[in-house]
Structure 1
Amino acid sequence: MTLFLLSCKSSNKTSENNNGITSSNTKSTTWNQSYGGTDKSYDTQLLKMREKVASTFQSLEFKDKTTGKTMAYSLFVPKNYDKNKKYPLVLFMADASTVGKGAIAPLMQGYGGIIWATDESQAKHPSFVLVPSYKGPESTGKGMKTVVNDNWETTEEVDMTLRLLDLVVAEYNIDKNRLYTTGQSMGGMMSFYFNVKNPDLFAASLFVGSQWDITVLEPLAKKNFFYIVSAGDEKASKGMTEVGEMLTKKGVKFGEKEFSAKLPQAEQEQQIADLLSKNLSINFVKFTAKTVTPNEETKGGAEHMYSFDYAYKLEIVRDWLFKQSKK
């Protein structure tokens, strides 16, 4: 897991890049780091989406009987929720830059938490979206907090997340055959961990910019998942390579695709469509190095932090996730 924060100024210019991200730089501004994440002040599509969608989530608190501690979380309940109808649920966990910044931070840092709750997504896939927030332990010594680390250690908040999920599933009419986990960096590591700890819980997973202890990941061989990283993200790419080698040794086929994150969005979607035409349960996607970052910036973990949103904007991947069911 790699973490960095950027702040950069914008100029008086409006433009749209090939993948549909509109930049509106009408004044000098800096990214609001109170939400974590990395500087995306150029992405007005994101800025508009989060202002519209984040407020549609309920802000709640979970009181954990096991630890006696509390966890703030956000929950999106489908409009016109019908208690007689079963709904899928997406569990999203953000990266460590959001830890200690409150329940709103995972919703505001990027697309990962909110894109499932847009009107467009809900029209296709009415679903619950659960987004926990984390307080974290004391500082790691680098001025950061996290709930997992690169030694594969977890804090009690990680297992609290599963108990929170149990609570939400019990409270609403949620389809236990269509639970999905996804996360970026720290959150992706947690998703890996959950698949090891309880391999029968989720119907499918979307791992973004993350990795986990390869010695315990054999349960993934029987799972449905997408694994998406930037080729320039050394740790996540290494993790992907290790999982690929493990699957190959076990004789499990998986799909692979690499393309530029600067491709027009329609072309990126077609790349995934070609991948899915192989009808495989496991798919790896790499964004070509130096294509996820503004101005080909690669310092300080930029390849890592800027890769997340490109993964979550792949509509065809999100559609694929909702098609997966344990039955």
Structure 2
Amino acid sequence: MHPPFFYQIFNKFLNSYSSNVSNTNGPKTTFTLKEFVFRVHLVEILHLQMRSILYVILLVIFQSCASQAKPILIDSEMETNVKENLAYYLYYPEDYEEEPEKDFPLLLFLHGGGESGDSLVTVKRNGPPKLIVQGKKFPFLILAPQNPNAKKWWNTRAVKQLLDSIVDNNRIDKRRIYLTGLSRGGGAAWELAVQYPDTFAAMAVVCGMTPLPYASWINRDMPIWVFHGEKDKSIPFSESETMVAKLKEMGYEVIFTRYPNVGHSAWIKAYETEALYDWFMNQELK
């Protein structure tokens, strides 16, 4: 029992007692100590009950307010900037300067995971850049960027931005832009074909992971040449085999070159195939 409250009850009792005792118009009232304690105890019980009732009322009010709170769905927007620093090689055919009025085809080459990083010279290890170092001449420009992330996929949006910049600042025939890639770069080539179906006139992919569920997004009029080694333990041969079967089933024009006794290095034979480059030169965006 809190002293302040008890004293209040006691004072009220004394006042009542004094009033009753001094009342000359009626009989005098007296209280025993037992009656006094009982009355104080009764008042305290009533006080506790009122506190309990007040608590319940407040709890109900709080729960009622809480139950009225609802989830909020807002709409907004934010402009994002995806930045990637892409180093690259750009090869010009020998007659590019000799024919200033002519627009030339361009081949976009995407290397594999082993050439990723910050040493651009590694891009010359495989594919068309390697052949250029060895003295081979091509009839088209070749754009060979480097993926700066050794343990990440190609940023295909950044690659497309680079390609657009090269096309806008050089004499490029926009209806004769070709695409090729090996291994991780082969997977990126497939991805670019899915994301930008109206950009490329033809595509050659060497042992790349495939976007099978999105095969139908690829331009149905774009010829495709796929290379893969049957002994590939890095990217299973079935990746290309299943993708080619799906594309042919949907009516795509696909050439499939399979190497029975070749592992993941199918790109060596693939890019030494002279007919590949003649095939590219015969294609135009439809």
TM-score computed with the length of structure 1 as normaliser? 0.57
> Contact between 1:92 and 1:112, CA under 8 Å: does it hold in 2?
yes
Q: Does 1:286 align with 2:258?
A: yes
Match of 1:91 among 108, 111, 114: 108
- Note the C-alpha offset of 1:282: 1.4
1:139 maps to none
Question: Are 2:278 and 1:319 equivalent residues in the alignment?
Answer: yes
Structure 2 residue aligned with 1:133, among 122, 146, 151? Answer: 146
Structure with a larger share of its residues in helix: 2
| Aligned residue in 1 for 2:268 | 309
Q: Tell me the distance in 2 between the aligned counterparts of 1:314 and 1:160.
A: 29
Quote the offset at 1:110 in angstroms.
2.0
CA contact (8 A) 1:204 1:225 kept: yes
- Cα shift readout 1:91-129 (whole Å, capped 9, x = no counterpart): 11110011114221111x12333436876533xx2x111
CA distance in 1, matches of 2:268, 2:148: 23
TM-score (norm 2): 0.65
State the Cα distance separating 1:307 from its structure 2 match.
1.4
Runs of 4+ in 1 over 6 A off after TM superposition: none
Q: Distance in 1 between matches of 2:242 and 2:195?
A: 19
Instruction: Describe the shift of the 1:318–1:118 C-alpha distance in structure 2 as closer, same or farther (beyond 3 A).
Output: farther
How far residue 240 of structure 1 moved from its aligned partner, in angstroms, is 1.7
Partner residue, 1:45:
none
CA distance in structure 2 between the partners assigned to 1:318 and 1:187 by the alignment = 18
Which of 201, 211, 214 is matched with 1:216 structurally?
214
The structure, 1 or 2, with the larger RCO (C-alpha pairs under 8 Å, 6+ apart) is 1
For 1:315, give the aligned amino acid.
E
Task: Give the letter for the 2:199 counterpart.
Answer: L
- For residues 218-258 of structure 1, what are the alpha-carbon distances to aligned partners after superposition, in whole Å with 9 as ceiling and x for unaligned? 134442110000011253411122213313442x26xxxxx
CA distance, structure 1, for counterparts of residue 132 and residue 285 of structure 2: 20
Paired residue total? 203
Change in 2 beyond 3 A, CA 1:316/1:117:
farther
My pick for the range that moved more, 208-217 or 80-89, is: 80-89
Alignment identity in percent? 22
Tell me, yes or no, if structure 1 residue 70 matches structure 2 residue 52: no
Residue 179 (structure 1) shift? 0.3
How big is the shift at 1:318?
1.6
Unaligned 5+ segments in structure 2 are: 1-79
Contact 2:109 2:181 in 1 (8 A): yes
Residue 184 of structure 2: which of 183, 186, 190 is its match? 186
Match of 2:127 in 1: 111
Match of 1:198 among 196, 199, 215: 196
Aligned residue type for 1:225: I
CA-based RMSD of the aligned residues comes to: 2.2
Q: Shift in Å at residue 217 of structure 1?
A: 1.3
* Contact 1:228–1:285 under 8 Å retained in 2: yes
Query: Structure 1 residues 121 and 310 mapped into 2: Cα distance closer, same or farther (>3 Å)?
Result: same
User: SS of the residue aligned with 2:87?
Assistant: strand
Unaligned runs of 5+ residues in structure 1 are 1-64, 137-144, 149-154, 254-280, 293-302
Determine the C-alpha separation between the residues in 1 that align with 2:132 and 2:283.
Answer: 16
Match of 2:21 in 1: none
For the 8 Å contact 1:177–1:203, the answer to whether it is kept is yes
- Aligned partners of 2:285 and 2:247: how far apart in 1? 21
Whichever of the two has the greater Rg, that structure is 2
